[in-house]
């Protein structure tokens, strides 16, 4: 960007500039001053044509030492759009910056404070001796007070006095809250910022030597806003400070944290987050300062990430139209796992592009995009577990999914944690994907319970010291797990069993594709290891930007996307559900359909760069792999019941069943009779024996399942599960369960070949 209008120096202007305090400039007087006027804001970019024309004319005039006549619309000097003040952008050099005495900024439309600060920093670099003003045509321009605020912030970074504040090349990071920076932070009585220290007015000395002095208590900590949740609870303060490296840090601190142990956790959190100095002997003064600050700004706080209205709340800020009004509040300062690096185009080419033709990769990325949709479409949480041999690429698949949200190594977690720690991690992944590597690192005794907790979205109930129940941590998320064992096998190795509905909540997909481990297509690379290394390098270079692009697009069209997604999920679930599927399979397929719909939505929104239908194809492949490993379409409890009946009969057909024709073969613990005839073998199970065979199950339900599977033979009355039979050695007839030969050698509820 180049300043394209500069007035000629008028006579009598060799003296020093006027004092900032109370100094005003009239636009009508611009012809007598060397002034650059900048128009900036939302509407400025539409005048780009005028800007280019005047820029060219001005540069030519300066080159011939013949500046443009200042009377020709001097206020149309430079137009700067908000995007030209994004983080990292730079102004072009002014044509004659050394001669510039004044710079007036005309804010034409909205301009965020952080962008205004960047403009000030850039102008200070180019014209360090110029006075900076702000005003509108037809009115007096007055000194821009935001300049002093920026100078103060730069002073804190350099740890010098205000008069010696440098103007470094790096622009201050974005502020989460758009407070009133021009007015400066309001400090309560008895506290002042002096140089690089926050000071308190304290009485020093005793008796006749007692006097009031300003005593340093900490590096400057500013209270930008007061926070509270929508129910008027959870009050806090939004704090801001600079760490020793000059980076802006912010933390929404619950005021209740100042109570336990005299606020020790608060001070520890501040120091851990880089606050350069706290005078430990005056911690109570610092606590009093934080408590007594009463900022005018009010912000809604939430205790977990995810959706809040039309804003998606993150640890480092929020995304969407409602982003300014909500912030994440945590008990301690927490660095954001949702980091951003690289470009969307780089991620599409180096990460998402390599997922094309690779079902597990494409599925995992679609799963990452599905997690934020749970609350939109009203679905419950759950997870998928990639099971396979070590070094087959399943961890790479998981980290590729993590790259949607942040750095793959920092965003992804491991199962090696206690249940309490995993609760904390889950609450930081609300409405997002939770990645957990190596299930084997979790204690097998906790495996089933922990996975069930994650899927149900609620932590353990705990009591306070007075016996009252604490508020449970809650979340709604999808998780992606990896391991060499299945969840059921890992729990069984510790002598525990998983609950019957666990397989619906944690769906197990074999990671091996039958080609190159977890990959089918290597995109021209010479091996699976090279392919995995390329994914790792690319995801570290480009991550986090995909989620922000996705979330930003969702916040703009949430209402219309909600209804469309529900219809798509219903249609996809109907297409994916095989004939004869039980209720549990149907519920699991609903989640597969959600993943497919999410992947296609991300493609429509321009995030993935995939061809249409790629996500659906990947979901079909993974669904087929799950069903093949599961081995049946019925409910897991029903399949286990049939397996129990078949297993007992097969294992004990000669030891627990008496021979129908051999009266000498009568086991003491017999459960029935075994009858061998020319057309096959039959088992006549006594009522007491049936109770033993179906121990732990509903005996009537077990009989019905055996009938449906073709194991149980009925008499003339098809409605009766038992038959009236005269047994050998028993005078009168008895009602028994009759099992046919099929119970020995048929799966009963197997999958149909496709």
Strand partners, 240: 222, 250
Same-domain check for residues 609 and 640? no
Q: How many domains does the chain have?
A: 4
Distance from the Cα of residue 75 to its chain's centroid: 46
Report the alpha-carbon distance of residue 525 to residue 191 in Å, rounded. 64
Are residue 482 and residue 539 in the same domain, yes or no?
Answer: yes
pLDDT in tens, 578-609: 887 878 888 899 999 999 999 999 999 999 99
pLDDT band at 40 (very low <50, low <70, confident <90, very high): low
If asked whether residues 38 and 126 sit together in one domain, one would say yes
Residue 3 in any domain: the answer is: no
Is residue 312 within 8 A of residue 551, CB to CB? The reply is yes
CATH code of the domain in which 595 resides: 3.40.50
State the Cα–Cα distance between residues 251 and 16, nearest whole angstrom: 43
pLDDT tens across 306-321, in order?
Answer: 999 889 999 878 898 8
Q: Which residue has the higher pLDDT, 423 or 125?
A: 423
Residues 6 or more apart whose CB falls under 8 angstroms from that of 273 comprise 243, 249, 251, 333, 335
- d(CA 652, CA 648) in angstroms, rounded, equals 6
| Residues 656, 613 share a domain | no
Confidence of residue 471 (pLDDT cuts 50, 70, 90): low
753, part of any domain:
no
How high is the pLDDT of residue 185? 58
- The backbone torsions φ and ψ at residue 736, rounded to the nearest 5 degrees and listed phi first, read -135, 165
pLDDT of residue 500: 56
Q: What is the pLDDT of residues 117-136, one digit of tens each?
A: 888 887 877 777 778 888 77
Highest mean pLDDT among 414-418, 611-615, 642-646: 611-615
Across the chain, which distance is largest between two alpha carbons, in Å?
A: 134
Lowest mean pLDDT among 181-195, 235-249, 527-541, 645-659: 181-195
* 252 shares its domain with 149: no
Chain CA centroid to CA 44, Å: 35
Three state DSSP letters for 274-310? CCCCECHHHHHHHHHHHHHCCCCCEEEEECCCEEECC
Domain boundary residue among 630, 649, 671? Answer: 630
Query: Which segments within 497-592 are labelled E, that is strand?
Result: 506-510
pLDDT score of 173 more than 80: no
Residues of the chain above pLDDT 70, percent: 77
Handedness of CA 649, 654, 657, 661 (dihedral sign): positive
Long-range Cβ pairs for the range 678-682 (8 Å, 24+)? 680/740, 680/741, 681/741, 681/744, 682/713, 682/738, 682/739, 682/740, 682/741
Q: 285: domain range? A: 191-328
User: Shortest CA distance to 410 belongs to which of 399, 396, 424?
Assistant: 399
Asked if residues 551 and 470 have their Cβ atoms less than 8 Å apart, the reply is: no
pLDDT higher than threshold 70 for residue 463: no
Mean pLDDT of 42-55: 50
Same domain (yes/no): 299, 367: no
DSSP code string of 398-427: HHHHHTTTS-HHHH-EES-S-HHHHHHHHH
Across the range 243-263, mean pLDDT stands at 89
pLDDT band at 208 (very low <50, low <70, confident <90, very high): confident
Instruction: Flag whether pLDDT at 65 surpasses 90.
Output: no
pLDDT above 90 covers a percentage of the chain that reads: 45
Note the pLDDT of residue 80.
65
In a domain, 589, yes or no: yes
The CA-to-CA distance between both ends of the chain, in Å, stands at 64
705 occurs within a structural domain: yes
Bigger pLDDT: 51 vs 186 = 186
Region 721-729 average pLDDT = 90
On whether the CB atoms of residues 306 and 312 are closer than 8 A, the answer is: yes
Question: Where a domain ends, among 613, 630, 647?
Answer: 630
Q: What is the pLDDT of residue 12?
A: 33
Predicted confidence band at 749 (pLDDT cuts at 50, 70, 90)? very low
Average model confidence (pLDDT) across the chain: 80
What pLDDT band is residue 444 in, cutting at 50, 70 and 90?
Answer: confident
pLDDT tens-digit map of 617-628 = 999 999 999 988
| Alpha carbon of residue 168 to chain centroid | 33
CA distance 176 to 326: 10
DSSP state of 71: T
> 66-109: per-residue pLDDT in tens?
554 433 333 335 556 666 677 665 554 554 555 667 777 776 66
If asked whether residues 278 and 360 sit together in one domain, one would say: no
Say if residue 454 is in the same domain as residue 575: yes
Choose the most confident range, by mean pLDDT, from 298-302, 352-356, 578-582: 352-356
How do residues 476-530 score in pLDDT, each as one tens digit?
A: 999 999 998 888 777 777 777 666 566 678 899 999 999 999 999 999 999 999 9
Whole-number pLDDT of residue 489: 78
Instruction: Determine, yes or no, domain membership for 173.
Output: no
Least confident range from 89-93, 115-119, 175-179, 722-726: namely 175-179
Class of residue 225 by CB neighbours under 10 A (exposed 0-12, middle 13-18, buried 19+): buried
- CA 351/CA 543 separation, integer angstroms: 9
Residue 266 lies in a domain: yes
- The residue-averaged pLDDT of 144-159 equals 71
Among 31-35, 97-101, 425-429, 688-692, the range with the most confident prediction by mean pLDDT is: 688-692
Residue that wins the pLDDT comparison between 182 and 487: 487
In this structure, the chain runs to a length of 754
Rounded to whole angstroms, the Cα distance separating 200 from 63 reads: 56
Residue 229 and residue 82 share a domain: no
Work out the angle at residue 26's Cα, subtended by the Cα atoms of residues 22 and 28, and round it to the nearest 5 degrees: 165
Q: What is the mean pLDDT of residues 551-561?
A: 90
Contact between residue 363 and residue 517 where contact means Cβ atoms under 8 Å apart: no
Given pLDDT bands bounded at 50, 70 and 90, which one contains residue 10?
very low
Name residues whose C-beta falls within 8 Å of residue 740's C-beta, 6 or more positions apart in sequence.
Answer: 680, 682, 710, 711, 712, 713
Same domain, 35 and 115: yes
Q: Is the pLDDT of residue 389 over 70?
A: yes
Mean pLDDT of 196-211: 88
Q: How are beta strands 236-242 and 222-228 bridged, if at all?
A: antiparallel
Average pLDDT over residues 644-657: 94
Q: Compute the half-sphere exposure of residue 552: CA atoms within 13 Å on the CB side of its CA.
A: 9
Q: Is residue 16 part of a domain?
A: no
- Please tell me the distance from the alpha carbon of residue 515 to that of residue 518, in angstroms, as a whole number: 8
Q: Give the predicted TM-score (pTM) of the model.
A: 0.63
With a CB cutoff of 8 Å and minimum separation 6, the contacts of 673 are 657, 658, 659, 660, 683, 684, 727, 728
Beta carbons of 344 and 607 less than 8 angstroms apart:
yes
Torsion from C-alpha of 78, 79, 83, 86, nearest 10 degrees: 30
User: Are residue 518 and residue 417 in the same domain, yes or no?
Assistant: yes
Say yes or no: 302 and 440 in one domain: no
**Residue after which a domain boundary falls, among 114, 149, 164:** 164
Does residue 302 lie within any of the structural domains? yes
> Which pLDDT score is estimated for 501?
62
Amino acid 232: pLDDT: 83
- Residue 31: the pLDDT is 47
DSSP per-residue letters across 159-216: TS-GGG----SSPPPPPSS---TTT-----TTEEEETTEEEEEEEESSGGG-EEEEEE
Region at 166 (left for phi over 0; alpha for psi -120 to 50; beta for the rest): beta
| pLDDT at residue number 386 | 95
Please list the alpha-helical segments (H only) found in 29-109.
48-63
pLDDT for position 657? 96
Give the pLDDT confidence score for residue 241 in this predicted structure: 93
Strands (E), 642-722: 657-659, 672-677, 680-685, 712-713
pLDDT on residue 18? 35
């Amino acid at each position: 960007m180049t300043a394209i209008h500069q007035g000629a120096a008028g006579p009598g202007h060799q003296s020093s500039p006027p004092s900032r305090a109370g100094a005003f400039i009239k636009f009508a007087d611009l012809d007598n001053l060397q002034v650059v006027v900048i128009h900036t804001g939302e509407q400025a970019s539409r005048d780009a044509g005028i800007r280019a024309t005047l820029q060219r004319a001005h540069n030519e005039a300066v080159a011939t030492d013949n500046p443009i006549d200042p009377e020709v619309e001097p206020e149309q000097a430079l137009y700067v759009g908000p995007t030209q003040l994004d983080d990292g952008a730079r102004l072009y050099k002014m044509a004659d910056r050394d001669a510039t005495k004044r710079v007036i900024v005309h804010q034409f439309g909205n301009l965020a404070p952080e962008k205004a600060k960047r403009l000030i920093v850039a102008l200070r670099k180019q014209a360090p001796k110029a006075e900076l003003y702000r005003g509108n045509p037809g009115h007096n321009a007055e000194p821009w007070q935001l300049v002093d605020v920026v100078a103060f912030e730069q002073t804190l970074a350099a740890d010098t006095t205000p008069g010696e504040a440098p103007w470094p090349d790096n622009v201050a990071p974005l502020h989460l809250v758009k407070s009133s920076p021009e007015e400066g932070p309001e400090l309560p009585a008895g506290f002042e910022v002096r140089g690089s220290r926050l000071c308190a007015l304290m009485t020093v000395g005793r008796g006749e030597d007692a006097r009031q002095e300003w005593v340093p208590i900490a590096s400057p900590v500013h209270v930008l806003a007061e926070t509270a949740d929508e129910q008027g609870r959870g009050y806090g303060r939004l704090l801001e400070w600079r760490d020793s490296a000059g980076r802006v840090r912010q933390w929404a601190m619950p005021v209740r944290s100042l109570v336990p142990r005299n606020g020790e956790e608060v001070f520890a959190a501040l120091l851990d987050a880089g606050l350069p100095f706290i005078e430990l002997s005056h911690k109570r003064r610092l606590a009093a300062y934080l408590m007594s600050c009463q900022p005018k700004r009010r912000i809604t706080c939430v205790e977990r990430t995810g959706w809040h209205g039309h804003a998606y709340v993150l640890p480092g800020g929020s995304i969407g139209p409602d982003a300014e009004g909500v912030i994440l509040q945590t008990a301690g300062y927490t660095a954001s796992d949702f980091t951003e690096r690289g470009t969307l185009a780089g991620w599409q080419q180096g990460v998402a592009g390599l997922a094309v033709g690779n079902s597990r990769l494409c599925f995992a990325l679609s799963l990452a995009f599905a997690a934020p949709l749970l609350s939109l479409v009203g679905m419950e949480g759950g997870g998928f577990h990639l099971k396979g041999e070590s070094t087959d690429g399943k961890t790479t698949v998981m980290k590729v999914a993590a790259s949607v949200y942040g750095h793959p190594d920092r965003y992804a977690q491991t199962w090696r944690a206690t249940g309490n720690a995993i609760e904390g991690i889950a609450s930081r992944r609300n409405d997002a994907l939770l990645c957990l590597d190596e299930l084997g690192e979790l204690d097998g005794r906790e495996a089933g319970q922990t996975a069930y907790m994650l899927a149900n979205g609620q932590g353990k109930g705990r009591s306070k010291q007075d016996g009252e129940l604490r508020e449970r941590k809650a979340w709604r998320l999808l998780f992606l797990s990896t391991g060499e064992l299945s969840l059921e096998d890992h729990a069984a190795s510790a002598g525990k069993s998983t609950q019957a509905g666990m397989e619906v909540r944690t769906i197990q997909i074999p990671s091996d594709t039958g080609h190159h481990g977890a990959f089918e297509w290597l995109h021209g690379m010479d091996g699976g290891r090279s392919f995995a290394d390329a994914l790792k390098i690319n995801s570290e270079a480009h991550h986090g930007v995909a989620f922000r692009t996705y979330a930003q697009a969702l916040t703009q069209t949430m209402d219309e996307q909600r209804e469309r997604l529900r219809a798509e999920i219903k249609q996809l679930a109907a297409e994916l559900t095989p004939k004869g599927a039980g209720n549990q399979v149907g519920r699991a397929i609903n989640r597969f359909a959600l993943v497919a719909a999410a992947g296609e939505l991300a493609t429509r929104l321009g995030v993935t760069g995939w061809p249409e239908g790629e996500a659906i194809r990947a979901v079909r492949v993974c669904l087929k792999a799950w069903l093949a490993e599961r081995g049946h379409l019925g409910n897991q409890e029903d399949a286990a019941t049939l397996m129990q009946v078949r297993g007992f009969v097969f294992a004990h057909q000669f030891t627990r069943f008496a021979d129908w024709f051999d009266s000498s073969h009568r086991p003491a613990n017999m459960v029935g009779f075994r009858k061998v005839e020319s057309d096959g073998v039959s088992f006549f199970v006594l009522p007491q024996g049936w109770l033993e065979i179906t121990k732990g199950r509903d005996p009537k339900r077990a009989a019905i399942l055996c009938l449906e599977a073709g194991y149980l033979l009925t008499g003339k009355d098809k409605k009766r599960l038992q038959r009236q039979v005269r047994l050998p050695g028993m005078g009168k007839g008895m009602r028994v369960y009759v099992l046919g030969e099929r119970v020995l050698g048929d799966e009963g509820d197997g999958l149909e070949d496709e």
